[in-house]
Structure 1
Amino acid sequence: MASKTGPARIDWQPIPRTRAYELVIRQIEEQILAGALHVGDQLPAERDLAARLGVSRAAVREAMRAMEAQGVVRSGVGVGPDSGTFLTSMPSKALTQFLRLHMALANFPIDDVVETRIMLERWSARLAARQASADDLATMSTLLDAMDSESADMRAFNELDTDFHVALADAAHNTLITEMTTAIRHSMRSMVLDSFREHGDWPTLSARLHTQHRAIYDAIAAGDPQRAADAVEEHLRSAAATLGWSTRAD
């Protein structure tokens, strides 16, 4: 249901008609950032919002479609308390997909991606070493065993590698870190697989990667945050250098 202190008290300002639907979105974003709109608040009806903003109903309709696709609003049809357009929190899977697509399309410099992964996964490893549950450890151990048995299959190894890093982030029990790590690692899957194929000595490479993953797991299982963080960074920097991604000095 709508918040009692929600949209009715907002001073909506008319906006220019040029690219009107984007400006509708911008003004709604501004109200969210200002704290005037919250999850669960109901937006004004299409006709009312168009009148308040000085734009066409078509512009409002297009803005709502775009924001619904982003997981920011949900629309209910019919009559009653569930009808209308409401602000909603983006489900984690939608957020991951959103980030993953932007990561894949934005062509960020690989050095920036590697450094961001190091920052995120060092923090994940520290947290995981402090608070990983028995289930978290069991998941990581199972993935490592599977990586060992699938070491001859590059594609299967790559999928398990991705799953291991996501499991590491899960073990940190920080939702945002998990979603960001998942998005980045998933966006890199094709590039990683191509790099595996181009390396030329897959048995040696897979054995090295597996050893590094085991070192990360052992540090987390031992409850040693510093060793876990250092093991993750060593693994990511070593992989980047071996696969020819990074030109920065370690």
Structure 2
Amino acid sequence: MPVEWQPVRQSRTHELVLQSIEERVFAGELKAGDRLPAERELAPVLGVSRSALREALRVLETIGVLVAQPGRGPDSGARIVRNPDDALGRLLRLHFALGSYSLHDVLEARVVLERSSWEAAARHARAEDLDAAGELVARMGEPDVGVAEFNDLDTRFHVLIAGSSGNALTSTLTSAVRESVRPLILRALEDAGDWPATAGALNAQHERLLRLVREGRGAEAADLVEKHIRGLHGTLVDEKGAP
């Protein structure tokens, strides 16, 4: 029987470095907090140039699993970390901007995530988290709060409740999804005809949501947060047109 040859996959050097580091993470040989050897030591061990190694380290830093500190002190060098929130948010914002996901997709994902997180928060949220959420709601209710600040506080409010749900992954995904539409929601708020009335109506829902969580009424909080999300975020979908 003749030999069947298959094309050999060609990889760029920095991709091979990434693969090598990933394999050590998967095997448990590298953990959060561990430091990588200095570039001058690691590059020859891997058999690659220092420029290829730096490119691989930059990729890992971008995706939130490595932080590089320049210099010669005890804190210098590259260290494995766990910091997925900012990285996921950045990636999702870029893909959303590039059209990888529609507004409708993002809306439905956000509804699923936040229904789950609000219902869980009613069971697991700590009093200090709810007090912090209450401070955000109080500030959103001040008459001098502007649109940009309100949007920032609103984002922090939803992300904080997701973080209090007891599910770290839900919290991270909720943060990434909410951050991905922050500019669009800001624009929708800026276009509101009567800003004080819009802010008041949105914050009245925030107050009720927080009260339901404090009272342990998770199912009602889940229903209300879906209504809350579809109210403003849903208008963006209607304007753009759902698929």
Give the TM-score category using the shorter length: 0.7 to 0.9
Which of 182, 187, 202 lines up with 1:189 in the alignment?
Answer: 182
Structure 2 distance, partners of 1:145, 1:72, is 36
Aligned to 1:180: 173
The question of 1:171 aligning with 2:131 is answered no
CA contact (8 A) 2:137 2:157 kept: yes
Greater mean deviation of Cα atoms: 219-228 or 64-73? 64-73
Structure 2 distance, partners of 1:142, 1:190, is 23
The question of 1:103 aligning with 2:88 is answered no
Post-superposition shift, 1:25? 0.8
Q: Paired residues, what number?
A: 230
Greater mean deviation of Cα atoms: 194-203 or 33-42? 33-42
Structure 2 distance, partners of 1:160, 1:53, is 47
Cα gap change, 1:120 to 1:51, in 2 (>3 Å): same
SS at 1:199 equivalent: coil
Aligned to 2:209: 216
Aligned to 2:82: 90
Aligned to 1:122: 115
Supply the RMSD in Å over aligned alpha carbons: 3.4
Which amino acid in the other structure matches residue 23 of structure 1?
L
Which amino acid in the other structure matches residue 120 of structure 1?
L
Which amino acid in the other structure matches residue 163 of structure 1?
R
Which amino acid in the other structure matches residue 102 of structure 1?
L
Structure 2 distance, partners of 1:45, 1:160, is 41
Cα gap change, 1:45 to 1:16, in 2 (>3 Å): farther
Post-superposition shift, 1:220? 0.5
Cα gap change, 1:138 to 1:53, in 2 (>3 Å): closer
Structure 2 distance, partners of 1:46, 1:164, is 42
Structure 1 distance, partners of 2:49, 2:207, is 59
- Return the TM-score normalized by structure 1: 0.74
SS at 1:223 equivalent: coil
Which of 20, 23, 28 lines up with 2:21 in the alignment?
Answer: 28
Structure 2 distance, partners of 1:60, 1:16, is 20
Structure 2 distance, partners of 1:177, 1:150, is 33
Q: Deviations over 1:222-241 (max 9, x none)?
A: 10111111111111112223
Structure 1 distance, partners of 2:194, 2:213, is 29
Cα gap change, 1:209 to 1:186, in 2 (>3 Å): same
Which amino acid in the other structure matches residue 100 of structure 1?
G
Which amino acid in the other structure matches residue 113 of structure 1?
V
CA contact (8 A) 1:129 1:225 kept: yes
Greater mean deviation of Cα atoms: 43-52 or 140-149? 43-52
Which consecutive unaligned segments of at least 5 residues does structure 2 have? Answer: 1-7
Which amino acid in the other structure matches residue 90 of structure 2?
L
Post-superposition shift, 1:97? 2.1
Q: Deviations over 1:20-66 (max 9, x none)?
A: 11221133223423545433556566567555655334322432344
Post-superposition shift, 1:155? 2.2
